[in-house]
Every structure is written in C-alpha cells, then in structure tokens.
Amino acid sequence: MKKVLMVFVLFSMCALGAMAQHRAIGLRLSNAVEVSYQREAGEANFWEFDGGLWNFGNGAQASAVYNWIIASPEWSPKGEWNWYLGVGAGAGVVWGPNYHYDSEDIGCFVGVAGMLGLEYKFWFPLAVSADFRPIIGPYFGDGVHFNPHLLGALYWPTLSARYTFNN
C-alpha cells in the first residue's frame, strides 16, 4: 500500500510542478470514469493527468502522459483537428471481486502508459477526443502477474469532453 501511496504522491507533485499554461479540463469515459486535466508543454506538446474509478467502481487509477501533437489536418473550416501520441506512467488499485485471478484480494498495478488519440477543438471552448491509453506492466495481488485490467484499453477507445482554456 505504501508503494501505491508513493506513486500517487509522485503524480501529484508532477501536476503541481508543471510550468505551463492551462489547456483543458474535463471527463474521460470508457470502462472508467476519470477527471482529465491537460497543461501545455511547449508549442505542440501537452501533459495529460487523469484519475478516477474504473470497472464499475472495482478500482481506481491515475496516469500522467506527455503527448506530442503529431499532425493537425485541415479537415474543417472552423475548429482544429489534432492527432497526438504520448508516453507516461500509470498506477492503480483493484478491490472487490477480481475476475481475472479468482481472488478477492486487494491488488495494485503500475506500468508504462501509451496514448494515441484524435482531438477536435471547437471554435468555442470545448474539445472532444477519442483515444487509446493502455497501461502495460505488472499486477501485484495474490502474486505478481501481467496486468490484464487496462490492456482492454487497446480494444475500447475512451471518449472525452473537455473545457478548453485557450481558445
């Protein structure tokens, strides 16, 4: 449990130490419901900090991902399209029935988070996006296993809606 607490403290310190402008705040929805916060990190880069409950309340997770805007196609006369790609870290806690290992033990996971997404920023302060963000790493519960919980993110895209600060 101390390891999980230290990971969450680390994410909090990263969020407080970011020296950039606000970008957006909102919600991410898939098999998880997360609060999402973005901060600019240069001209075409941004940090994304997410945290919330997943799997119908059987766990909590947090992630910090550094994203690069890799393309901005001109698909519409109004608004702005952005393809982004990122890498970071994620961690979480699992409680309740653990359907992967027939155990009800409390477990935790840590790992490398990758992100690939497409965002549309409207001409008013709203951005919507769809992305994939798997967290790949070990799961610590009744032993050490490969983390199966968030690999499902490869198959289920996350839909997000965010209020944008810099429009």
Give the model's confidence band at 3: pLDDT under 50 very low, under 70 low, under 90 confident, else very high.
low
pLDDT in tens, 40-51: 998 889 999 999
pTM for the predicted model, two decimal places: 0.81
* All structural domains of the chain: 2-164 (2.40.160.20)
SS (HEC) of the chain: CHHHHHHHHHHHHHHHHCCCCEEEEEEEECCEEEEEEEEECCCCEEEEEEEEEECCCCEEEEEEEEEEEEECCCCCCCCEEEEEEEEEEEEEEECCCECCCCECCCEEEEEEEEEEEEEEECCCCEEEEEEECCEECEEEECEEEECCCCHHHHCCCEEEEEEECCC
